[in-house]
């Protein structure tokens, strides 16, 4: 009863503030305040709302095949990545993954594996993207490869923590990346230098076998090979939907945030 009165008074205040003639007879003004119908003057948005909706659309895979971050969202995406939200969102994912991993009773034959993607999953390219408009600039393969070849990408801290915990639980780790075979050595070096020291294997994209193939096709095919070799993919984590779609995806998949680029 009190709540209804409160909502009613809020509506009254809003009506008097905006001078709107809301139709109280339809009861719409009694709905929960943030969900009330936007009508004319009442429908003003804070400037960043649409970028936040864009990001949600991207993470939920409603927005697909996008080439660059919308120009007007550069600040929004930059603040998200450099602020605490990116870290917290990542942690929410990896904690859930750990909870799941811990609940299992592994056979202990070394065949239980967890697949990790590399870019924006294990290693962060944020130093590069911070210099290139956080995904607003069109992808430049030359510049990006120069950055990768430095081998100085930092670890994503929540992923590194998950990785260490999984090792302790007895999982074997497989890195499965879209990086080409020409970058295998520098990637091995980079992974080891930031703490990813123990793993079953690093699978890179064979440029002949998978020439022109999508990440979904390539990764599905490599996961299938793993399972043919007797491995059980118990968990799979990546920042792209193409890491977790397709076949042989593993018993559970985990999607890390990435509002910078889209790979199909």
Ligand X SMILES: *[C@@H]1O[C@H](CO)[C@@H](O)[C@H](O)[C@H]1NC(C)=O
Site of interaction with ligand X (CB under 6 A)? 104, 140, 142-143, 234, 251
Q: Determine, following the binding rule CB under 5 A, whether residue 222 of this chain makes contact with Mg ion.
A: no
Q: Retrieve residue 49's tokens.
A: 């709302």
Sign of CA dihedral 84, 87, 93, 99: negative
Q: Determine, following the binding rule CB under 5 A, whether residue 119 of this chain makes contact with Mg ion.
A: yes
- Residue 68's contacts (CB-CB under 8 Å, 6 or more residues apart) are 135, 136, 137, 138, 139
Stretch that binds Mg ion, among 76-84, 154-162, 165-173, 239-247 (CB under 5 A): 239-247
| Beta carbon nearer to ligand X, 163 or 231 | 231
> What's the min distance (Å) between Cβ of 141 and Mg ion?
16
For the chain, count helices (H), then strands (E). 9, 5
Angle between helices 84-102 and 74-82 (to 10 degrees): 50
| Beta carbon nearer to ligand X, 52 or 253 | 253
Q: Determine, following the binding rule CB under 5 A, whether residue 236 of this chain makes contact with Mg ion.
A: no
Number of residues located near Mg ion, criterion CB under 5 A: 5
| Beta carbon nearer to Mg ion, 119 or 222 | 119
User: Cα-flanking dihedrals φ and ψ of residue 126, to 5°?
Assistant: -60, -40
Stretch that binds Mg ion, among 19-27, 122-130, 213-221, 231-239 (CB under 5 A): 231-239
178 C-beta neighbours (distance < 10 Å), count: 19
Q: Which does 239 bind (CB under 5 to 8 A by kind): ligand X, Mg ion, none?
A: Mg ion
Among 54, 112, 117, 153, binds Mg ion (CB under 5 A): 117
What phi-psi label fits residue 120: left (phi over 0), alpha (psi between -120 and 50 degrees) or beta? left
Cα 185 to Cα 203: distance, rounded to the nearest angstrom:
12
> What's the min distance (Å) between Cβ of 234 and ligand X?
5
| Beta carbon nearer to ligand X, 126 or 156 | 126
User: Rounded to the nearest 10 degrees, how much is the dihedral formed by the CA atoms of 35, 40, 43, 46?
Assistant: 180
Q: Determine, following the binding rule CB under 5 A, whether residue 190 of this chain makes contact with Mg ion.
A: no
| Beta carbon nearer to Mg ion, 222 or 239 | 239
> What's the min distance (Å) between Cβ of 37 and ligand X?
45
Q: Which does 245 bind (CB under 5 to 8 A by kind): ligand X, Mg ion, none?
A: none
Q: Quick check: 202 and 228 in contact, CB under 8 A? A: no
Q: Determine, following the binding rule CB under 5 A, whether residue 239 of this chain makes contact with Mg ion.
A: yes
| Beta carbon nearer to ligand X, 156 or 176 | 176
- Residue 157's contacts (CB-CB under 8 Å, 6 or more residues apart) are 87
Maximum C-alpha span of the chain: 71
Stretch that binds Mg ion, among 7-15, 104-112, 121-129, 137-145 (CB under 5 A): 121-129
| Beta carbon nearer to Mg ion, 112 or 119 | 119
Q: Which does 234 bind (CB under 5 to 8 A by kind): ligand X, Mg ion, none?
A: ligand X
Cα 113 to Cα 227: distance, rounded to the nearest angstrom:
10
């Amino acid at each position: 009863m009190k709540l209804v009165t409160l909502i009613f008074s809020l509506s009254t205040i809003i009506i008097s503030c905006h001078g709107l003639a809301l139709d109280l007879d339809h009861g719409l003004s009694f709905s929960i305040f943030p969900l009330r119908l936007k009508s004319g003057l009442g429908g003003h948005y804070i400037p960043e709302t649409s970028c936040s909706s864009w990001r949600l659309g991207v993470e939920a895979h409603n927005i697909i095949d996008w080439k660059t971050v919308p120009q007007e969202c550069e600040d929004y995406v930059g603040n998200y990545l450099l602020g605490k939200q990116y870290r917290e969102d990542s942690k929410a994912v990896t904690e859930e993954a750990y909870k799941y991993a811990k609940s299992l009773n592994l056979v202990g034959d070394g065949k239980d594996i967890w697949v990790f993607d590399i870019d924006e999953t294990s290693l962060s390219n944020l130093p590069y993207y911070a210099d290139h408009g956080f995904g607003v600039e069109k992808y430049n393969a030359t510049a990006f490869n120069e950055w990768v070849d430095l081998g100085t990408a930092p670890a994503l801290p929540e992923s590194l923590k998950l990785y260490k915990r999984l090792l302790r639980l007895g999982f074997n780790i497989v890195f499965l990346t879209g990086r080409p075979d020409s970058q295998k050595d520098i990637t091995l070096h980079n992974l080891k230098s930031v703490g990813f020291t123990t793993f079953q294997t690093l699978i890179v994209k064979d440029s002949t076998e998978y020439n022109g193939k999508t990440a979904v096709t390539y990764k599905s095919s490599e996961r299938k090979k793993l399972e043919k070799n007797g491995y059980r993919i118990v968990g799979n984590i990546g920042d792209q939907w193409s890491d977790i779609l397709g076949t042989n995806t593993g018993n559970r998949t985990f999607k890390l945030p990435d509002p910078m680029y889209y790979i199909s």
